[in-house]
Structure 1
Amino acid sequence: MAADASGAAGDLVQVVALLAAGVIAVPLFKRIGLGSVLGYLVAGLCIGPFGLGLFTDAHAILHVAELGVVMFLFLIGLEMEPSRLWGMRREIFGLGLAQVGASIAALTLVGLALGFSLAVAFVAGTGFVLTSTAIVMQLLEDRGSLSTPKGQRIVAILLLEDLAIVPLLAVVAFLAPGGAVTGTADRAYAVGLALLSVAALVAAGRWLLNPMFRLLAAAKAREVMTAAALLVVLGAALAMQFGGLSMAMGAFLAGVLLSESSFRHQLEADVEPFRGILLGLFFLGVGMSLDLTVIAANWVLILTGVAAYMVVKSLVIYAVARLLRAGHAEATERAALMAQGGEFAFVLYAAAAGAGIIDGPTNAILTATVILSMAVTPLMVIAFDRLGPKATASTDGVEVPENLVGSALIVGFGRFGQIVSQPLIARGCSLSIIDTNPAAIRVAEDFGFKVYYGDGARLDILHAAGAATARAILICIDDRDAARRIAAIAKAEFPLVPVLARARDREHAIALLQAGVAYQLRETLESALAFGEQALRTLGDDPDAARAAMAEIRRRDAERLALETVGGVHAGRELIHGNASRARPAGDGRLEERRL
């Protein structure tokens, strides 16, 4: 009994250590700008066999934590309707195959240069080609790029690499001593089993999953729905593993099959907490697996290998991206994100070791090389963000302003500017519109708006856009610093033209008033006041009393804004439904309010 209690306490200590490591390291590393992934890796190294020694078997944790990658791919699959996935087929099988094929050839040459035999160099390079899905997905999510076109192209490549693990394992079996003679029947069986697993999963997704979730929903047992979500993810992963495919690919296919289900959002909410915890555990496990004794004994070869493999792989990724017409900034970012090896390399190296292609020490060296590359990747991405090229949108087909004339000049044609333009157009006002977003300009043209490319902070652009002859300049951009600069330039160069500006918040409103604008409005003020008035009515207030309350709030807000404006020269002016209220200092310093 005492031994059991001691064992249970030891297990609890390990659980607490895992949680504490993540809770302490991740916020700290994010605070200093190094990202959550590197925080997990360092935390794992600290509590692992080569740190505090709280864990002795990091690989056991990795086996469990791989479920985090599985669940991540399931959630990605939920966002990928079959039609959308079909639309990405060129990226998956075109861009993906091109990058994987070119990288295998180049990295095999790197292995030969490092002194490996041809078979070992091929296995080493091929394993390094398989990018870490977990790290890249997490970095894309942290950067908010997962749903962008460039992010989706990276996802397509990762999907192809997940698919590639099956033929690559078959090649490893072929390269094994005697594999060419005895492996044909086994390979045919493996391919057939993989196809059968995929077919079974697709059939279950189409005809079983939705009826099952309908029955569970009717039972109204919330915990059973959560259990069913986990059952679907883990069951699909297990089915693919039995078929010789990756668990992550099985989870992804399950997500795709459920992407059009009415239970999609419920599944996403149920799986998300488990995904986050297990994915963090995966990174902790990778950090624990970094064998410092192997690195110390072979540090020259390992560091040389990390540098050579990452540099060559980056160059290949960049070249393939540029050949397939990606921009310089996107190609460089893709190279920085995908230069490392990944978790599937461990599977490939283990299979090669089992087949006798590589020995134990070589397996340890290659594994350490991959893990070290994974740890370096967040630093590479940080360096890219600070030093790399910034993406610039193409201005093909977009015109710049030249001798424009309009009743009003609108600077910025986003959501705010589009709404502002509607009453002006309805009343027959002529508009000249400039914006710095070429993509938004092209979209506006599809709806009949003629928008010109131009930065309102440049005086020559303001002249070309007709600011000198306009009856008003309307600054509708959401960049507070740029809006203040434009207001100051416009008032200095065109003092007789009223400038109206969109403000982000109270501080920004004061800065605009100081810059000389005739009128400013915080972008959420009127919507919030209208919402508050409706809330009063919903709570039973008389409509007239609700309107009076809102009018009083507007009046007090205008007074406070005028007092906060330095010198009080430009008193706060705020909109009152159908009226404008102007508050300005009276001769005795008191605020006098007028109705326009």
Structure 2
Amino acid sequence: MQKATAPSVAFFVTGPLSHREHAMATEGDASQLIGMVTLLGAAVVAVPLFKRAGLGSVLGYLAAGLVIGPYGLSLIADARTILHVAELGVVMFLFIIGLEMKPSHLWNLRGQIFGLGSLQVVLCALLLTGVGVAAGFPWQAAFVGGAGFVLTSTAIVMQVLAERGDILAPRGQRIVSILLFEDLLIVPLLAAVAFLAPAGAVPAAAAPLWQRIGTGLLSLGVLTAAGLWLLNPLFRMLAKAKAREVMTAAALLVVLGAALLMELGGLSMAMGAFVAGVLLSESSFRHQLETDIEPFRGLLLGLFFLGVGMTLDLDVVARDWRFICLGVAALMLTKALCIYAVARLAGSRHAEAVDRATLMAQGGEFAFVLFAEALRLTVISPAMSADMTAIIVLSMAITPLVATILRRRARPEPASLDGVEAPRDLRGNVLIIGFGRVGQIASQSPLARGAELSIIDNDPDVIRNAARYGFKVHFGDGARADVLRAAGARHARVILVCVDDQAAATRIVENARRECPHTRLVVRAFDREHALELVRLDADHVVRETFEAALTMGRQAVLAMGATEQEADELEAEVRGRDAERFALETAGGTFAGRALLLGDIDRIDPPRHGRKRDARPPEDGIA
């Protein structure tokens, strides 16, 4: 983008570009475009092939990066820059995970985060440092290498868990807790590297440890304050503007701003995004934020894996292949055994301990930061940095493959009830879309029967007013399939579509029937034509918004004219029956006639009474 605008800027400053300068700029633009096409093409070809082979998308990205990278076909030369930019994919992934974890839930995990996480990290660091010392390295260099390998790849582990659907499962939550603790370690580990550096290696201008810790805590405090008091008012204001692209821009601003604030404070960017997600986890805009960030997250995370594959220096591997292969085997085996022992000590079953050890046995992306700092301060040599980087990348590439093989060979386990509440009456798993006048009234009966409601609406005023009466309404456009998924439509027993927008109701039914074909759909229709359209889309129960009210008014009218209750009931049943018959005939030539009876538009069909003919009705009858 910048190069594309450079000619116009140069024209105003220095006059028109020469033909040679213009040609060079054009060549630069073409080179960038070729690079982007190469990255996208490699992902589009490799990932489906690897997923079809059952090896997962992560291994496909890593293999594609290796092939097109500077140590493969050299189609892409600057792998480090790509990796640095693509780290934002990890940042966005942690933001989405934060959205799933309410502060109360995170507080419940504190024992796992600090207890289980610290136990695993300390033991693994000691054992891995011992491996380095046994290999003949000074203890300082061995500690840096071991500490770098302790930091598991958050991106790879989370992607594998996401593909399995295990992130919110109890075993997945324990792994996430440990990863969060490891993300917190980057600052103290960098401080430890500076402490281990030879005299004179640390720049004199470096801030003291207490100052860096204070800066980190201040950044965390500022982010927390902004999340508690600024973000929700901001999103309410933007939602009122009804500008979708501005909401997306605001979501990106929150994620990137939180990451930048944490980086300025010396903390992990991913940790900043996670904290921002946790602070917004109880916001009414949670579902909308998740769906806005998801496309960027997926694309950048894939780019991150491509970048990791491109950084594998095959020249270094060829030169020191014996040491690197032994290093990968020794470090991964040592870390896996340590993780297994800690998991069993903490009460996990054998299968879960093996799975955790397999997933977390590799090094991670934060090791690159640690090794770069240690190299700058001469704690490790350039040769050791290159070898350890190759070991880390190879371990990251091996992990998805090993995890897939072990999962295929593992015996099926009985379902675990760990962390799951005892079964109770599961009736009332109800999703309500639209919480205006109709939605509020429709919610009363499910609530009275003990239903658990999920409610989404795209009007900030409705959300704010509902909160005064104790209703938790989430912000989101129910006409979007991704919002329906995020709101849990697939797990609902019934979806009440109560929106007052005819087109939106139709799109909701289309998407809901495609996303969750077995969920019952009860839909508010605008008029007869809209009701016919909804039935053809396979809605289970259609209620015209004026029909029932008009029947009630007509019943009160004949009562006021002197009719008895029985006569009023019979007249109402007759009108309802005639309407149901016409509705069945109009629905695709009678194809849905049986369905129309199930819709509840007819209680019973009585013969005409009081000598009236069945076609003696007002011309507009049945329009509503």
- TM-score, L = length of structure 2: 0.66
How far is the alpha carbon of 1:534 from its aligned partner?
3.8
Residues 533 and 546 of structure 1 are in contact (CA less than 8 Å); yes or no, is this contact kept in structure 2? no
Residues 108 and 126 of structure 1 are in contact (CA less than 8 Å); yes or no, is this contact kept in structure 2? yes
Aligned twin of 2:255:
233
Correspondence for 2:55 among 29, 34, 41: 34
Aligned twin of 1:119:
140
Residues 446-503 of structure 1: per-residue CA shift (max 9 Å, x gap): xxxxxxxxxxxxxxxxxxxxxxxxxxxxxxxxxxxxxxxxxxxxxxxxxxxxxxxxxx
How far is the alpha carbon of 1:415 from its aligned partner?
7.5
How far is the alpha carbon of 1:391 from its aligned partner?
3.0
Please give the residue correspondences for 1:120-139 in structure 2 after superposition, counting only pairs within 5 Å: 120-139=141-160
In structure 2, how many angstroms separate the alpha carbons of the residues matched to 1:82 and 1:64? 30
Aligned twin of 2:349:
327
Aligned twin of 1:292:
314
How far is the alpha carbon of 1:258 from its aligned partner?
1.1
How far is the alpha carbon of 1:246 from its aligned partner?
0.7
Residues 37 and 135 of structure 1 are in contact (CA less than 8 Å); yes or no, is this contact kept in structure 2? yes
In structure 2, how many angstroms separate the alpha carbons of the residues matched to 1:117 and 1:372? 24
Aligned twin of 2:370:
348
Q: Does 1:3 align with 2:24?
A: yes
In structure 2, how many angstroms separate the alpha carbons of the residues matched to 1:555 and 1:525? 19
Structure 1 runs not aligned, ≥5 long: 397-411, 417-521, 558-574, 578-596
Aligned residues: 443
Residues 521 and 541 of structure 2 are in contact (CA less than 8 Å); yes or no, is this contact kept in structure 1? no
- 1:230/1:304 Cα in 2 relative to 1: closer, same or farther (>3 Å)? same
Aligned twin of 1:303:
325
Q: Does 1:379 align with 2:401?
A: yes
- 1:318/1:52 Cα in 2 relative to 1: closer, same or farther (>3 Å)? same
Aligned twin of 2:389:
367
Structure 2 runs not aligned, ≥5 long: 1-21, 428-516, 523-534, 548-577, 601-624
Aligned twin of 1:97:
118
Q: Does 1:145 align with 2:182?
A: no
Q: Tell me which amino acid in the other structure corresponds to 1:267.
A: L
How far is the alpha carbon of 1:532 from its aligned partner?
5.3
Residues 50 and 292 of structure 1 are in contact (CA less than 8 Å); yes or no, is this contact kept in structure 2? yes
- 1:533/1:203 Cα in 2 relative to 1: closer, same or farther (>3 Å)? closer
Q: Tell me which amino acid in the other structure corresponds to 1:235.
A: G
Q: Does 1:158 align with 2:142?
A: no
Aligned twin of 2:433:
none
In structure 2, how many angstroms separate the alpha carbons of the residues matched to 1:523 and 1:63? 44
In structure 1, how many angstroms separate the alpha carbons of the residues matched to 2:30 and 2:205? 48
Q: Tell me which amino acid in the other structure corresponds to 2:55.
A: L
- 1:72/1:533 Cα in 2 relative to 1: closer, same or farther (>3 Å)? closer
Q: Does 1:190 align with 2:212?
A: yes
Q: Which moved more, 1:382-391 or 1:335-344?
A: 382-391
- 1:362/1:263 Cα in 2 relative to 1: closer, same or farther (>3 Å)? same
Identity %: 60
Q: Does the residue aligned with 1:115 lie in a helix, a strand or coil?
A: coil
Correspondence for 2:580 among 543, 550, 559: 543
In structure 2, how many angstroms separate the alpha carbons of the residues matched to 1:7 and 1:246? 33
- 1:530/1:343 Cα in 2 relative to 1: closer, same or farther (>3 Å)? closer
TM-align CA RMSD:
3.4
Aligned twin of 1:587:
none
How far is the alpha carbon of 1:262 from its aligned partner?
1.5
Residues 153 and 363 of structure 2 are in contact (CA less than 8 Å); yes or no, is this contact kept in structure 1? yes
Aligned twin of 1:492:
none
Q: Which moved more, 1:200-209 or 1:317-326?
A: 200-209
Residues 251 and 292 of structure 2 are in contact (CA less than 8 Å); yes or no, is this contact kept in structure 1? yes
Residues 521 and 539 of structure 2 are in contact (CA less than 8 Å); yes or no, is this contact kept in structure 1? no
Q: Does 1:212 align with 2:212?
A: no
- 1:180/1:2 Cα in 2 relative to 1: closer, same or farther (>3 Å)? closer
Q: Does the residue aligned with 1:190 lie in a helix, a strand or coil?
A: helix
In structure 2, how many angstroms separate the alpha carbons of the residues matched to 1:26 and 1:266? 28
Aligned twin of 1:18:
39
Please give the residue correspondences for 1:491-502 in structure 2 after superposition, counting only pairs within 5 Å: none
Residues 391-449 of structure 1: per-residue CA shift (max 9 Å, x gap): 334699xxxxxxxxxxxxxxx99989xxxxxxxxxxxxxxxxxxxxxxxxxxxxxxxxx
Aligned twin of 2:285:
263
Residues 327 and 391 of structure 2 are in contact (CA less than 8 Å); yes or no, is this contact kept in structure 1? yes
Please give the residue correspondences for 1:266-277 in structure 2 after superposition, counting only pairs within 5 Å: 266-277=288-299
Q: Which moved more, 1:212-221 or 1:102-111?
A: 212-221
Aligned twin of 1:45:
66
Q: Tell me which amino acid in the other structure corresponds to 2:250.
A: A
Residues 135 and 374 of structure 1 are in contact (CA less than 8 Å); yes or no, is this contact kept in structure 2? yes
Aligned twin of 1:468:
none
In structure 2, how many angstroms separate the alpha carbons of the residues matched to 1:185 and 1:241? 15
In structure 2, how many angstroms separate the alpha carbons of the residues matched to 1:532 and 1:208? 41
Residues 131 and 158 of structure 1 are in contact (CA less than 8 Å); yes or no, is this contact kept in structure 2? yes
How far is the alpha carbon of 1:219 from its aligned partner?
2.4
Residues 110 and 308 of structure 1 are in contact (CA less than 8 Å); yes or no, is this contact kept in structure 2? yes
In structure 2, how many angstroms separate the alpha carbons of the residues matched to 1:149 and 1:365? 36
Aligned twin of 2:7:
none
How far is the alpha carbon of 1:221 from its aligned partner?
2.2
- 1:183/1:19 Cα in 2 relative to 1: closer, same or farther (>3 Å)? same
Aligned twin of 1:278:
300
Aligned twin of 1:570:
none
Residues 200-258 of structure 1: per-residue CA shift (max 9 Å, x gap): 11111112212222222222222222111111111110111111111000110111111
In structure 2, how many angstroms separate the alpha carbons of the residues matched to 1:358 and 1:163? 23
Correspondence for 2:274 among 225, 229, 252: 252
Q: Which moved more, 1:45-54 or 1:61-70?
A: 45-54
Q: Tell me which amino acid in the other structure corresponds to 1:331.
A: A
- 1:539/1:36 Cα in 2 relative to 1: closer, same or farther (>3 Å)? farther
- TM-score, L = length of structure 1: 0.69
Residues 62 and 286 of structure 1 are in contact (CA less than 8 Å); yes or no, is this contact kept in structure 2? yes
Q: Which moved more, 1:384-393 or 1:68-77?
A: 384-393
- 1:173/1:213 Cα in 2 relative to 1: closer, same or farther (>3 Å)? same
How far is the alpha carbon of 1:159 from its aligned partner?
0.2
In structure 1, how many angstroms separate the alpha carbons of the residues matched to 2:519 and 2:112? 41
